[in-house]
Each structure stands twice: as C-alpha cells, then as structure tokens.
Structure 1
Amino acid sequence: MSLLKLKANPNPSDNARKTQRIDLGYGSEVVYVPRFVAYNDAWKFFNYLDNHIPWTRPTLRVFGRSCLQHRDTCYVASAGLPDLIYSGYQPHAYSWDDFPPLKDILDTVHKMLPGSRFNSLLLNRYKGGDDYVGWHADDEKLYGSTPEIASVSFGCEREFLLKKKGHKSSQERSDEKPPLKRFKKSSHVDQHCFTLKHGSMLVMRGYTQRDWLHSVPKRAKAETTRINLTFRRVL
C-alpha cells in the first residue's frame, strides 16, 4: 500500500483565526482547532484507520466487575516506554512503523504544537451513538502531573464534555440536559461542551487532568462512526 500523506489545513492563518482557547482557571487550559486537518485529507485518513488498524474491544474490570469496553481501541507507542494499563487491561503496544500514516499525523501535531514531544497514541473508534466513554481523567502517573493531551477527531461529530471534579451536573441531579457553557473564553464555570468536528483537534493542558473530568456521552442521533486519536507523552 502506498504511504498515505496528510497535511494540516493549508491556510495557517485560518487555523489561528478559528482556534478557541479556554482558560479553565488555576492553571488548566483547553485549546480547540476546528479545522486542524484539511477536509478531504481527513476523510482519507479516516478510511485508512477504519480499515487498517487492528481494532479490539477489550474486557475491563470496573468496580470489581467485568464489562466490555463501549468502543474499539488500539495502542501505539515508542519503544522502551512503561506499559499502559487501565481498568485491569494492558493493550499491546504497536510500533509507529507498523502504521506509517500515524507518524505523518504525529509530525503534523508537533508542527501545530511547538515544544510538544508525544511518544504514545491511544486510538478509539465509536461505531455509533451507543459507543461512549464515561467521566474520567487521564491522570495516570506515567503521564506526569501536568500532561498535554492532543485529541484529533475524524468522522461523525460527537460532543465532548468537561466538568470540574467534585461538581455534580444538573443532568446528574435530574433528567434535564445540563446548561453547558460553549466556548467561553476566560470563563471559570464548572462545565463546558465542545462539538468535535471532522478533522478537528482539541488539546488539554496544565492541571486539566488533576482538576477536571471529561467524557463522550451516548447520543442517539450519532449513527455513523467516529475515530479519535489521543496523543500523549509517557515519561
């Protein structure tokens, strides 16, 4: 198979103009780039991932019970890193050389985020609205105390929710949908909602994993597949 080449949005000023920076307060920040990868290139990459990644749907241990993870996954990491283990599951670590297009998108992420040095990648595939990830923080010790996590999305748009740790949303108190705040700069509210578009990138920085939880909830109207890449640095 010929090497799939991708490039970031060809107009850098467009990325800069559309980028949303949200100050969560107390050293936490989220950056959202809605047009990180050019539209047609993003679909080429989606098709490659959907058809060539060795997806698996593992069994996890949650609160002492075994359950099937509600999304497909795959893990890629540089050689010599500590093993990734979550909820009793240790994924096989594939090499970057196993999937050359992933190295290309990693280079594109590094160009967009000068100074970042990602060396691992967790891929997730949501095959419809019943696939989701519940509230959690990526606060494993192997990422350090202030990890930078870059999340690139392809395919179906899905909502990405953030809430401050210890904050109980109105959705948890009642059946009503919570009044989430959308893209409020320098707003220290306790909840935020992003609609992650095809070809977009969202970056969490600073103490976001220490102080905040995030999730991709079920959505009945999300009938098609979303593929998400989360780039991280293992220390």
Structure 2
Amino acid sequence: MDLFNSTPGANLLPYDGEVQYFGKIMDIEKAQYYLNNLLQTIQWKNDEAIIFGKHIITKRKAAWYGNDSYAYTYSNTTKRALPWTQELAELKSLVEHLTHTSFNSCLLNLYHSGEEGMAWHSDDEKSLGKNTTIASLSLGAERKFLLKHKETKEPMSVVLERGSLLVMKGATQTHWLHCLPKSKKVQSPRVNLTFRTIVI
C-alpha cells in the first residue's frame, strides 16, 4: 500500500500501531537553511554497531542530543547525549507543537546519498519505554520509508518529502519493523532527526 497521498495526520497503519504523516511542515527555503546548518554544526560521527560479535562502522553518520547527557544503547553500542544546539532546539519546539508531545532527546542520521540506508529494525529499546512516540523530521533528499508487520509481513510505504514530519506511536515499535532502503537514484544528502523520550 502506498501512503504518499494519504490525509496528513491520519493513521496510516491498518492495525497494531499508529503512524501519522504530516507532510511538509516548513517551506523549501527553511528546510534548506536547517539542512545546511545541521550539516555544519552537528558533531557527526560514523555510526557503529556490533552484530553477531562483529564490530561494524557504517558510512552513515549519526549524532545524539538531549536535555541531559542521556545514555542510549542500540546495536550493542552506547551514545552519550550532547546539549541541544540553537537550531535543534528550534526544530524540537516546532515538532512538539505539532505533535502535542514533549521530547527529551534526538537521534540524528546523515545519509550522504542513496547508497546509504537503514536495515529493517524496531526502536524498541527499554530506555524508550513501551508504546513510545518517535517524531521523524526529514531534511534534504526525498527517500522512501518502508514498514512491515512483524507477523503478517504486510508492507506499507511512504515517500518522505524534504521538510516533512512522520510520527510513529502506540504499539508500532512492538508490532512493526521499518527501514530506509538504498536507492541509486538519490545523489544528494538527507538528514533525519528522530525526536524521542528517554525514560529516566
């Protein structure tokens, strides 16, 4: 099922969770301004993972920011949150206003081109709590975002426009996987900001 033309804010999942696509929440000029700023000011580092005992360093880069120096562990590696930059705080405030949800942290990913993606996974770490809400803001290149039910394997997809917002909440992380597939057609970078709440 293609979700690209769905009503903004409506639940895109047929069952076992909630995913809302708000579409563009800022104009192209503002989206480009924030993209340029984040590419220059964020402390990007190549992401790391330990899979089946093997230490992997990805081409994709990542960064972890928050209200406090929260520790966040995923793929058997741990990050310590950095303090918000002014621009990140502005984007956090905008997303909180639209979603009526408070967030205390943000995981950022930098995909230099379509040759970099994200494998199937769920953001179901214990530190995020159960039925967590994750707000995903996309800047830069448009990319396809896929979801797949863990049991029925039912697929869903949506094209994430530049300056757009997608929210996953409820039981989504329990029952659905999501990924960002690679695409040779995409030559420009994309920055994805995933606002989260670490359970203290």
Both proteins in one fold, TM over 0.5: yes
Find the counterpart in structure 2 of residue 149 from structure 1.
Answer: 134
Find the counterpart in structure 2 of residue 38 from structure 1.
Answer: 27
List gaps (5 residues or longer) in structure 1.
Answer: 1-16, 169-189
Q: Aligned AA for 2:172?
A: T
Find the counterpart in structure 2 of residue 186 from structure 1.
Answer: none
Q: Aligned AA for 1:35?
A: K
Whether 1:90 and 2:54 are equivalent positions in the alignment is: no
Counting only pairs closer than 5 Å after superposition, residues 91-170 of structure 1 correspond to structure 2 as 91-96=79-84, 99-114=85-100, 116-168=101-153
Cα shift at 1:52: 1.2
Counting only pairs closer than 5 Å after superposition, residues 1-235 of structure 1 correspond to structure 2 as 19-79=8-68, 81=70, 83-96=71-84, 99-114=85-100, 116-168=101-153, 190-235=154-199
Cα shift at 1:88: 2.4
Distance in 2 (alpha carbons) for counterparts of 1:59 and 1:139: 18
Between stretches 121-130 and 32-41, larger displacement belongs to: 32-41
Q: Aligned AA for 1:32?
A: Y
Q: Secondary structure at the match of 2:19?
A: strand
Q: Is the 8 A contact 2:69 2:83 kept in 1?
A: no
Q: CA RMSD in A?
A: 1.6
Q: Is the 8 A contact 1:26 1:207 kept in 2?
A: no
Distance in 2 (alpha carbons) for counterparts of 1:222 and 1:74: 22
Q: TM-score of the superposition, structure 2-length normalised?
A: 0.91
Q: Is the 8 A contact 1:58 1:89 kept in 2?
A: no
Distance in 2 (alpha carbons) for counterparts of 1:64 and 1:167: 30
Distance in 2 (alpha carbons) for counterparts of 1:120 and 1:36: 20
Evaluate the alpha carbon distance shift between residue 48 and residue 206 of structure 1 in structure 2; reply closer, same or farther with a 3 A threshold. same
Spell out structure 1 runs of 4+ moving beyond 3 A: none
Q: Aligned AA for 1:31?
A: Q
Q: Secondary structure at the match of 1:21?
A: coil
For residues 193-228 of structure 1, give each alpha carbon's deviation from its aligned partner in whole angstroms, at most 9, with x where no partner exists.
111000000000100000000000110101110000
Q: Secondary structure at the match of 2:94?
A: helix
Percent pairwise identity: 35
Higher share in strand: 2
Q: Aligned AA for 2:179?
A: S
How many residues align? The count is: 194
Larger gyration radius, structure 1 or structure 2: 1
Q: Aligned AA for 2:146?
A: L
Q: Aligned AA for 2:46?
A: R
